[in-house]
Every structure is written in C-alpha cells, then in structure tokens.
Structure 1
Amino acid sequence: MTKTFYQFLMTQRNPESYDPIAEFANNAFFDQSFPKQSTDFNEISKYLELNAGYLPSMTIFDDTWQKYLETNTHA
C-alpha cells in the first residue's frame, strides 16, 4: 500500500536536526491543517504555498517529494 506524503514526511522528522527536510517534517507535524491523506503533488504544493509560512522555500518540498516518489517506487 502506498504511503501518503504526510506519512512519508513523518519518517523524516528529527527534532535534533537542522536539515531542511527534517525541519519541514518537524513543522508539518504541528500543522493541524496539513492535507494528511493526500498523495497529490498539486494539492499539497498549493496548500504549502498558501499556508505554510514555516517552509522557507518550495525547493525543500520539491526535494522531499522526489524522495517520497523514490520510496514509493521501491516499496
């Protein structure tokens, strides 16, 4: 079964890390409105552009999405 993007993102959490993806995951964890059930790039991207002041660059999302795709391809 394919993980949602949020499920994948939560595997990247690390409160001790300053890695941009880990910080994205840490902040998304506290975002009550994050589209947790979505696997759709456009839906998540639009949400983040409009609502995620904690994400300093959409490039971080793009990089994380690529890792998500690679994980689901090999699952």
Structure 2
Amino acid sequence: MTRTFYQYLMTERDADMKDPITIFANSAYRDTSFPKQSKDYHEISHYLEMYGSYLETMTIFDEAWERYLATKK
C-alpha cells in the first residue's frame, strides 16, 4: 500500500531544522484541515493554494511532491 503525501510529509518534520520543506511539514502537521488521505497532486495543490497561507511559495510544495514521488519508486 502506497502512503499518502501527508504520511510522507510527516517524515520531513523536525523541531530543529528550518529548511523550507521541514517548515512546510511542521505547518501541515498543525493544519487540522490538511487533506491527509490524499495521494492526488491537484487536490493537495488546490487545497494549499486556497488555505496554505503557511507556504511562502508553491515551489516548496512542488519540491516536496517530487521527493514524495521518488519514495514511491
């Protein structure tokens, strides 16, 4: 069974690191409305465009998505 994007993103959490993807992961963890069960790029992207005020740029999501896809290979 393939893990969801959220499950992958939670592996990037770290209280001490301050890189953009770690900050994204920490913020998504606190976002109770994040689409945790989704594996769909467009669904998550749309959600973040509408409600992801904690992302400085969608490029951070795109980079995290590429890392997520790399873990599925």
Shorter-chain TM-score tier: over 0.9
Letter aligned with residue 52 of structure 2: A
Query: Structure 1 CA distance, aligned partners of 2:64 and 2:8?
Result: 9
Letter aligned with residue 42 of structure 1: H
Query: Structure 2 CA distance, aligned partners of 1:14 and 1:28?
Result: 12
1:45 correspondence with 2:45 = yes
Query: Structure 1 CA distance, aligned partners of 2:32 and 2:21?
Result: 18
Deviation beyond 3 Å, 4+ runs, structure 1: none
Structure 1: stretches of 5+ with no match in the other structure? none
Query: Structure 2 CA distance, aligned partners of 1:44 and 1:58?
Result: 11
Query: Structure 1 CA distance, aligned partners of 2:65 and 2:15?
Result: 20
Measure how far apart 1:15 and its partner are.
Answer: 1.3
- The corresponding residue for 1:35 is 35
- Normalized against structure 1, the TM-score is what? 0.96
Structure 2: stretches of 5+ with no match in the other structure? none
Query: Structure 2 CA distance, aligned partners of 1:39 and 1:32?
Result: 17
- The corresponding residue for 2:18 is 18
Give the paired residue count. Answer: 73
- The corresponding residue for 1:61 is 61
